[in-house]
A and B are shown apart, each in its own frame.
Chain A
Amino acid sequence: KQEVTQIPAALSVPEGENLVLNCSFTDSAIYNLQWFRQDPGKGLTSLLLIQSSQREQTSGRLNASLDKSSGRSTLYIAASQPGDSATYLCAVENFNKFYFGSGTKLNVKP
């Protein structure tokens, strides 16, 4: 059974710092990996999708990488801003099912 782990569970950084969020998964036979952002009391917003054949995707200040063989993905956030404060979730797709990590709760201090 696929298990997804996200480290750290929580992170507090001053504004302007570059930071890395980690996601690991146990079964490398994935089709896609998707990063989401969730604000308190809200739904999930898709940030980046990496297909299994790709190694990275970029959107603005966000860069996500995927290493299928080692079962890892990282989300890099450049020049963090207070508006980036949220919980970040990664999800992997195996055979029609999506498995989510528990998330990293990010707080960017002004």
Chain B
Amino acid sequence: NAGVMQNPRHLVRRRGQEARLRCSPMKGHSHVYWYRQLPEEGLKFMVYLQKENIIDESGMPKERFSAEFPKEGPSILRIQQVVRGDSAAYFCASSPTGTSGFPYEQYFGPGTRLTVT
């Protein structure tokens, strides 16, 4: 069972361009989370998705950011018209559903490091 996969690992974009970050959860995992980590800071929750549904996007900026987890294919975090302040590491995590019906242990991908020039 391959781990959580993220690509690209490094992404450089100029101000105003779009950034697309991909996350393939572990097989059998239906819960996907996106986090942002600024240099020397902790992880900040952005969005929680299940297949075809956004469950909680309270941590995501209202403008320029969007996320999806389609029925087929990876989860996508999309940042439009990037600015320098978007430079960060973006991590995806996936969880199976526990016996309680809620997400269980999180498994993290290696992250995508976005640099905006």
What residues of chain A have their CB less than 8 Å away from a CB belonging to chain B? 31-32, 34, 36, 41-46, 49, 89, 91, 93, 95-103
* Interface pair A96/B105, CB less than 8 Å apart: no
Q: Give Cα A31 to B41, complex, Å.
A: 25
* Interface pair B41/A46, CB less than 8 Å apart: no
B25 at the A/B interface (Cβ < 8 Å)? no
What is the predominant secondary structure among interface residues of chain B facing chain A?
strand
User: Which residue, of A36, A43, A91, A95, has the highest number of chain B Cβ atoms within 10 A?
Assistant: A43
With a cutoff of 8 Å between Cβ atoms, the chain B residues found around residue A93 in the complex are 102-103
Q: Known A49-B105, A93-B103; judge A100-B110 contact (CB<8 A).
A: no
What is the predominant secondary structure among interface residues of chain A facing chain B?
strand
* Interface pair A32/B42, CB less than 8 Å apart: no
Query: In chain B, residues 28-87, which have Cβ atoms closer than 8 Å to a Cβ of chain A?
Result: 31, 33, 35, 41-45, 48, 55-56
With a cutoff of 8 Å between Cβ atoms, the chain A residues found around residue B102 in the complex are 31, 93, 95-96
Checking B42, B100, B105 against A102 with a beta-carbon cut-off of 8 angstroms, the contacting residue is: B42
